[in-house]
Amino acid sequence: MSERIAVAMSGGVDSSVAAALLAEAGHDVVGVTLQLWDYSEANLAEGKGRCCSPADIADARAVAAQVDFPHYVFDHTEHFREQIVEPFLDDYTAGLTPSPCISCNRHVKFDLLWRMAEALGATRLATGHYVRIEDTDDRPRIHRAVDKDKDQSYFLFDVPRAQLGHVMFPLGHLDKNEVRDHARRLGLTVADKPESFELCFIPDGDKDEFINRERPQEAGRPVSISGTDGERMGTASGLHRYTIGQRKGLGVSSSQRLYVLDVAPETDTIVVGAEDGLYSSSLTAVRCNWVAIEAPTESLRVQAKIRHRHTPAEATLQPNSDGTYDVRFDDEQRAVTPGQGVAFYDHGLLLGGGWIARATP
C-alpha cells in the first residue's frame, strides 16, 4: 500500500495541481483545507473572496471530487486569530510592519495542518509552495524554486527544521505557466482561476480600515510627523498607517519628495525625509531560526533577503552574545523595515532567517 499524503488545499490552482499530480502518480492522496477566517459578512461580496473563503473551499472540494480523493475541512478560526491576526494587530499598532504569511507557515500550515494530516493517517504533507526540498540524512535542505518570480522559500525561514522533515513541494521544479498547463491537461475547474495577492483575513486589501475596526483605540492615537531635523511638519492618527519607505499619503507638503524614514512608537512620531535617508548599511536580526545549518557561532558570508520581492544582497552575518545577529551589507540596502523577516541564503539554499529589529544607516 502506498503512503498516504495529505495535501494542503486552498482552492487555488497551485495546491489543486499539487494534489492532482500526486494522485496521478499513484499516491494515496487526501485533501485538507483549514477554514481560518469568518467570511460571513461583507467579505462575501462578489470578487472579495480570498484563500480558504467559502468559494475557495468549494473549489477545493470540487477538485478532490473530480480527481477522486477524499477532502476534509477543519475550522480553526480561533487558533488563527490567536496566532496570526492578534500579533499582526499588535505589531502594526506598535509601529512595526509584520509579515503574517511567515508566521502562518510556522504556526498553521506546517504545525496545525500537519497535526490534522497525522490524524487522517498521512505520513507526508504536501503544499503548493514554489520551493524545492532535498532530503538528506541529517536535515531537509530548502532551495529556491526553479521559477524565481514565484519562489516562496523566503516565507519558510521560520519553520522549525523538524516540521520540514515530512514535507513535499510538488511544484518546486515547475514554473507558473507549466502549472496552469497541467491544470488544463487534467481538466481542473480552477485552471484559469486568478491568483490571490491580499492577506486572507483582509479580503478587500484595506489594511488600515481593518485595523481601524479591530483596534479603534489605536486607530485614533495622535501621531506627530517631523523632519530629520526634528521640526514638526504635521499630525496624523495611528502609527499603523505608516511604514518605512512609504511616499504616498503622508499628509504633509514639501518642495521635495518625502518618504517615511522611521516609525518611532516610543514618541508616537513619524520621521520623514529625502530618499537617500532610506538606505542602511546593516541590520540586527532577532529570534532567528536555522534550517540548513546549526546556529552560526562565527561570522558567515550570506545573501540576505529583507522582503519577498527583494534580490538577496551579499552580506556578512555576525553572531552576538545575546543570540541576535548583525547583518552587514556589502552595499547599502533600501527600506530595511523593522518587523519584516530577513532570510539568509547560500546561493539558493535557505540557511535560515530572523526578524528585523532595527536598521543602521
Active site residues: 104, 200
User: How many CA atoms lie within 13 Å of 226's alpha carbon, on the beta-carbon side?
Assistant: 13
Q: Measure the CA–CA gap between 293 and 145, rounded to whole angstroms.
A: 19
Contact 10, 34 (CB under 8 A): no
**Long-range CB contact pairs, 217-222, < 8 A, 24+:** 218/93, 221/93, 221/268, 222/268
Residue 107 is classified by DSSP as I
Residue 112 is classified by DSSP as I
Q: DSSP letters of 193-262?
A: PPPP-S-TT-TT--HHHHHHHH-HHHHT-EEEEEETTS-EEEEEE-GGG--TT--TT-----SS--EEEE
Contact 201, 51 (CB under 8 A): no
